[in-house]
């Protein structure tokens, strides 16, 4: 049986890693316990900040904006380059904190920090490519163009399951775009946040950038709400549940602020008769059971052709039975713990509802290691065979439950893929080019991410990341997602000496 580390051991590792990143543990100490999902015991206690601390952080960041927006973008890039170097140097420290606070296995925690390094590199390049356009003017002696300018303070609210990468996607891009950042991290991962912020503070000090460019406010939903309502936040980038987005979106819209919402997903993979079932099995198992089912892009539904469903189910179920479940810090573990008892309860409730709605549990669902650590929630990832897409399948349950549904025509498969309120990620496993293109086309998957022959999770930073419908419509990270972080101006320059009006309008005086 896997043994779990002691509370003292985890606490020591957390303190040492945080201190190496530059966290002042005495200054951040307080009465709010941070529980490690690894053993269910208290890791450390931190001080939560208040709404007025959040307002003060926005004021400081606004002052920094006055200076930062006039710094040339490639010079702003030098700050992000330094941040990337420091992240590389402290990759293991940050990954340790991520594992301890949210239970990611070491390889995935290192991958999360690598994603931070990657987005820094992307943003440094971008700092020389914030291109506007020159547009053909209809008037002689006129030049029409678009320019992009810093927008203002960016507020970032992040979820527990990507406790640091999501901040970096926003922050690296915001900084090169000329925007300071105020961050409200998940209350479940304050040390990872303080460590990331300490590394950025160091980069700021070393490159001579304004001291208040980066602010982090540790606290609960009330601190997030303070950012949501603060008119000093020009762009509010909020990642979390659809419930949170439903509270945040209208409030930001009400003050005519900009929001970028990255919310829940309910991602499906279609497995067609021509699919390579070995490849599909590997893609499915990583996407569905990896991160213990706690990614926004986790595969939650397999829609398999009736001719392959039995064989696919056999393969996936057999892979599930051999998944190593245990401490995320142990080499070889592939499935770590759920974040909390409430995540475990929502998984059990969903399994019960699935049974009541006609589902048959094919594998998993039971708790593991409960005796070794009563406060930690390790589970066997579950597979549930359904005959139709019932209410419980259409909800996002943030735990490793994979629903498997049959289909007979590709139209039916695409309709099932799209018939959920969320629209984040999707994929098709096929060797049929026509089916693949159909899935990616205008009447195919309605998701922000549509893949062929890979699973639904594990996106690269180079593409714009986000989804449609109840996933919120936001796009972060690569491609041209940077435009959301800038103010666009259309400029008309008249060098003709005359004053011709557009559309041939005459207004002679
Ligand atoms: P959550 O919604 O409980 O919390 C997310 C963050 O929002 C936390 O920092 C929390 O304090 C804050 N918050 C909660 N209510 C708020 C309010 N009313 N106003 C302002 N802030 C508020 O989510 P979670 O449990 O931490 O994360 C899991 C969820 O996040 C899942 O639904 C997952 O799909 C989603 N997620 C989405 C993406 C994406 O990119 N689409 C990425 C990661 C996670």
Q: Does any ligand 1 atom lie closer than 6 A to the CB of residue 157?
A: yes
Q: Ligand 1 centroid to 279 CA: how many Å?
A: 32
Q: Ligand 1 centroid to 158 CA: how many Å?
A: 6
Q: Can you list the alpha helix ranges (DSSP code H) found in 127-152?
A: none
Q: In whole angstroms, give the CA distance from residue 106 to residue 335.
A: 11
CATH no., domain 267-460: 3.40.309.10
Q: Does any ligand 1 atom lie closer than 6 A to the CB of residue 248?
A: yes
Q: Ligand 1 centroid to 280 CA: how many Å?
A: 30
Cα diameter, the chain:
90
Q: In whole angstroms, give the CA distance from residue 180 to residue 489.
A: 20
Q: Ligand 1 centroid to 236 CA: how many Å?
A: 13
Q: Does any ligand 1 atom lie closer than 6 A to the CB of residue 395?
A: no
At residue 2, the pLDDT reads 64
What angle, rounded to 10 degrees, do the helices at 73-89 and 190-207 form?
130
The preferred substitution site among 236, 240, 425 for testing ligand 1, maximizing ligand atoms within 8 Å of CB, is 240
Q: In whole angstroms, give the CA distance from residue 2 to residue 397.
A: 27
Q: In whole angstroms, give the CA distance from residue 485 to residue 476.
A: 10
CB 289 within 8 A of CB 108: no
Q: Does any ligand 1 atom lie closer than 6 A to the CB of residue 262?
A: yes
Atom number in ligand 1 closest to CA 339? 25
Q: Does any ligand 1 atom lie closer than 6 A to the CB of residue 41?
A: no
Q: Annotated catalytic, 262?
A: yes
Q: Does domain 7-263+472-489 have CATH number 3.40.605.10?
A: yes
Q: In whole angstroms, give the CA distance from residue 206 to residue 433.
A: 52
Atom number in ligand 1 closest to CA 159? 26
Of the residues 262, 396, 435, 476, which is catalytic? 262
Protein residue whose Cα sits closest to atom 43 of ligand 1: 296
Question: Domain-by-domain residue ranges, the chain?
Answer: 7-263+472-489, 267-460
At residue 3, the pLDDT reads 79
Q: HSE-up of 222 (CA within 13 Å, CB side)?
A: 7
At residue 220, the pLDDT reads 97
**Closest by CA position to 347, among listed 408, 387, 302, 298:** 298
Token pair, residue 363, equals 């594998």
Place of tokens 């969903």: 350
CB 302 within 8 A of CB 402: yes
Protein residue whose Cα sits closest to atom 39 of ligand 1: 262
Atom number in ligand 1 closest to CA 467? 41
Q: Ligand 1 centroid to 188 CA: how many Å?
A: 11
Place of tokens 């359904």: 386
Protein residue whose Cα sits closest to atom 16 of ligand 1: 221
**Burial (CB count <10 Å: 0-12, 13-18, 19+), residue 506:** exposed
One pLDDT digit (tens) per residue for the chain, 509 residues = 467 999 999 999 999 999 999 999 999 999 999 999 999 999 999 999 999 999 999 999 999 999 999 999 999 999 999 999 999 999 999 999 999 999 999 999 999 999 999 999 999 999 999 999 999 999 999 999 999 999 999 999 999 999 999 999 999 999 999 999 999 999 999 999 999 999 999 999 999 999 999 999 999 999 999 999 999 999 999 999 999 999 999 999 999 999 999 999 999 999 999 999 999 999 999 999 999 999 999 999 999 999 999 999 999 999 999 999 999 999 999 999 999 999 999 999 999 999 999 999 999 999 999 999 999 999 999 999 999 999 999 999 999 999 999 999 999 999 999 999 999 999 999 999 999 999 999 999 999 999 999 999 999 999 999 999 999 999 999 999 999 999 999 999 999 999 999 999 999 99
**Closest by CA position to 468, among listed 455, 449, 482:** 449
Atom number in ligand 1 closest to CA 472? 41
At residue 123, the pLDDT reads 98
**Residues ≥6 apart with Cβ < 8 Å to 494:** 139, 141, 142
Q: HSE-up of 483 (CA within 13 Å, CB side)?
A: 13
**Closest by CA position to 58, among listed 186, 213, 288:** 213
**Burial (CB count <10 Å: 0-12, 13-18, 19+), residue 107:** middle
Provide the 10 A C-beta neighbour count for residue 330.
15
What angle, rounded to 10 degrees, do the helices at 106-126 and 91-102 form?
130
């Amino acid at each position: 049986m896997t043994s779990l580390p002691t509370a003292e051991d985890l606490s020591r590792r957390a303190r040492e890693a945080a201190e190496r990143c530059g966290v002042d543990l005495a200054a951040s100490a307080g009465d709010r316990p941070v529980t490690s999902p690894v053993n269910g015991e208290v890791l450390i206690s931190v001080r939560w900040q208040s709404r007025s601390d959040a307002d003060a952080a926005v004021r400081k960041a606004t002052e920094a904006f006055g200076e930062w927006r006039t710094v040339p973008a490639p010079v702003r890039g030098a700050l992000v380059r330094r941040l990337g170097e420091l992240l590389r140097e402290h990759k293991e420290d940050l990954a340790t904190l991520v594992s301890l606070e949210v239970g990611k296995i070491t390889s995935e925690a290192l991958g999360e920090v690598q994603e931070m390094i990657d987005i820094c590199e992307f943003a440094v390049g971008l700092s020389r490519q914030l291109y506007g356009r020159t547009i053909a003017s209809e008037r002689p002696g006129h030049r029409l163009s678009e320019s992009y300018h810093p927008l203002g303070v960016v507020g970032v609210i992040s979820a527990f399951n990507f406790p640091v990468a999501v901040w970096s996607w926003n922050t690296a891009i915001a900084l090169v775009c000329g925007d300071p950042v105020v961050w409200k991290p998940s209350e479940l991962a304050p040390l990872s946040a303080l460590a990331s912020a300490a590394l950025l503070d160091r980069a700021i000090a070393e490159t001579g950038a304004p001291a208040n460019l980066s602010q982090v406010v540790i606290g609960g939903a009330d601190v997030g709400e303070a950012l949501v309502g603060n008119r000093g936040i020009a762009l509010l980038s909020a990642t979390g549940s659809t419930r949170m987005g439903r509270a945040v979106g209208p409030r930001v819209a009400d003050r005519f602020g900009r929001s970028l919402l990255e919310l829940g997903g309910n991602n499906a993979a279609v497995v067609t008769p021509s699919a390579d079932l070995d490849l599909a099995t590997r893609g499915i198992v990583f996407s569905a059971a990896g991160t213990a089912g706690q990614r926004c892009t986790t595969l939650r539904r397999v829609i398999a052709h009736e001719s392959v469903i039995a064989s696919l189910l056999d393969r996936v179920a057999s892979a599930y039975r051999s998944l190593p479940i245990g401490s995320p810090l142990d080499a070889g573990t592939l499935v770590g713990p759920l974040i909390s008892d409430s995540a475990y309860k929502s998984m059990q409730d969903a399994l019960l509802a699935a049974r009541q709605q006609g589902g048959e549990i094919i594998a998993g669902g039971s708790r593991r290691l409960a005796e070794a650590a009563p406060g930690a929630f390790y589970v066997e990832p579950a597979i549930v065979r359904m005959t139709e897409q019932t209410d419980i399948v259409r909800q996002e349950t943030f735990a490793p439950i994979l629903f498997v549904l049959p289909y007979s025509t590709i139209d039916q498969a695409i309709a099932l893929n799209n018939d959920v309120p969320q629209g984040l990620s999707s994929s098709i496993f096929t060797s049929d080019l026509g089916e693949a293109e159909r899935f990616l086309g205008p009447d195919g998957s309605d998701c922000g991410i549509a893949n062929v022959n890979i699973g639904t999770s594990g996106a690269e930073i180079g593409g714009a990341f986000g989804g449609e419908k109840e996933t919120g419509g936001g796009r972060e990270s690569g491609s041209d997602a940077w435009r959301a972080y800038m103010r666009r101006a259309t400029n008309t320059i008249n060098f003709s000496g005359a004053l011709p009006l557009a559309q041939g309008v005459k207004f002679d005086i």
